[in-house]
Structure 1
């Protein structure tokens, strides 16, 4: 019975220390045993035993520098993660309605598999919805555009970008669709489709309509094409990838000359600042070169998507 209790206590302390170490990097100072003793409320010997397990298993190498303190000499995040008690990582990304999204989802899973990680993905429409759920703790990370991530951070939300994937990894570009094929720009008197849940679509739409006398009609992103084809609205911002892949017969104009809009083409992984160590886990689990290689193969129809 006592051994069971000791094992349970050691296990809790090991998990806690492993999660702390996931936030550390080589050269960082760690807390003293006395400080951990006060923080956790466990006996000094139990804490020392937990540290010993992590060192013996090769998860971390520590270096004592006398009165200065103890520092991380080497750290193996993959091994440390095994002791955190975190069984899987949960993420969310857009609905995979384009080859780029299908390829990205495939790449995430393939990268996780190569690194023996258990990854689970949810597919949720609207960057603002995904970000809200991230902040509520429903997900460990979300995939959004670089522009959406920067907008959310600029608003003061406790978020940070964990991984960048480069231009044209989220989508090739946004374009402006028109019901009247003779139109090339948004004009006064037009009704424009706006999805407030899509940070990118909303931002670009408002920027294009600035200074013009137009009506913004709120609607889900996936209804914009149909609304233009039925002349319910005059124009709307849309993803060029889906137009090309579905061979939609609809008039559109490029808007990619705006530098801010280009940020909407880059996929990034966004995490909550209070989820300590998650970025180190993700950097072990998700290798951008693997993700992008599978994305390219799916887009080029070299392999079938798998997610």
Structure 2
């Protein structure tokens, strides 16, 4: 910790940290909350807030201008310094396990774009969109990578917001139906179909593909679906076809048959970044340091074999 940080934290640490996090969501020209508003929010006195604000100014984290009865406005901000004071000197993301070339490219692209901001960055890997959303809500990560389909479902449930999308086919290229035997011609009555409720895309696509059919849905973790299929414990499953293009598995596959499932699959192809709804600081920060075009460029280079994955 720098000398100015140490002095600031010693005197007004908690209040300065909260104010710095709040300022990350503001742009120059925005009005900053009143001293009494911060005092109420931070459960402290007006004098402590005034001293914390003065310390932020003296540390070079911001410049403000008082405009009489209209309030005080942010003139300039050193967002890197504000992030340090707010305890956001590093970022942690959550995304699916990088078991496909596309996910490896996505992780590599995220690392490359954040690296250019000089902010320490790491990625944790977690199976299932529901699990990543729950971890995000518990404060275990700063943002999560989901498909747009999963993200929109999570937003409807509340507590999270979408910060940005990375573009079509950044999450998956396409989903399809995997079948246990070559004579099968799709999902039909009497079949045992694998479903993972924790993997929102797969669960919804499976539900739509099976709608109106008399099938038995067998709950299995997504990572075990292929094994159960090959062992004959299930007859069919909806699967990310990127995993087949890696050449690691020999199975029987076909396109989705349900028009509704095909429409849903289009939405699930895009990777989006999601944050906790109570983190407006990240809503401003992430678009500043993550360039979707650069992420896609790096991902495509990995997919084409022009770049070694680095994550």
TM over 0.5: same fold? Answer: yes
The match for 1:35 is 37
Distance apart, 1:252 and its partner CA? 1.1
C-alpha contact (below 8 Å) 2:65/2:75 kept by paired residues: yes
The match for 2:304 is 300
Distance 1:297 1:100 in 2: 10
The match for 1:104 is 106
Residues 248, 19 of structure 1: CA spacing in aligned structure 2 closer, same or farther, 3 A cutoff? same
After superposition, the C-alpha distances for 1:206-242 in whole angstroms (9 at most, x for unaligned) are 0100111000011111222222222221110111111
The match for 1:169 is 170
Task: Work out whether 1:260 is the aligned partner of 2:261.
Answer: no
Relative to structure 2, which stretch is displaced further, 241-250 or 5-14? 5-14
Relative to structure 2, which stretch is displaced further, 167-176 or 183-192? 183-192
SS in 2 for 1:265: coil
The match for 2:237 is 236
The match for 1:65 is 67
The match for 1:118 is 120
2:88 to 86, 89, 95: 86
Task: Work out whether 1:291 is the aligned partner of 2:292.
Answer: no
After superposition, the C-alpha distances for 1:144-166 in whole angstroms (9 at most, x for unaligned) are 10000111222x22110112101
The match for 1:10 is 12
Distance 1:38 1:85 in 2: 21
Please provide the CA RMSD for this pair: 2.3
Task: Work out whether 1:271 is the aligned partner of 2:272.
Answer: no
Distance apart, 1:260 and its partner CA? 1.8
Distance 2:121 2:7 in 1: 32
Distance apart, 1:38 and its partner CA? 4.6
Distance 1:108 1:293 in 2: 11
SS in 2 for 1:277: helix
Number of matched pairs: 302
Distance 1:305 1:70 in 2: 47
The match for 2:137 is 135
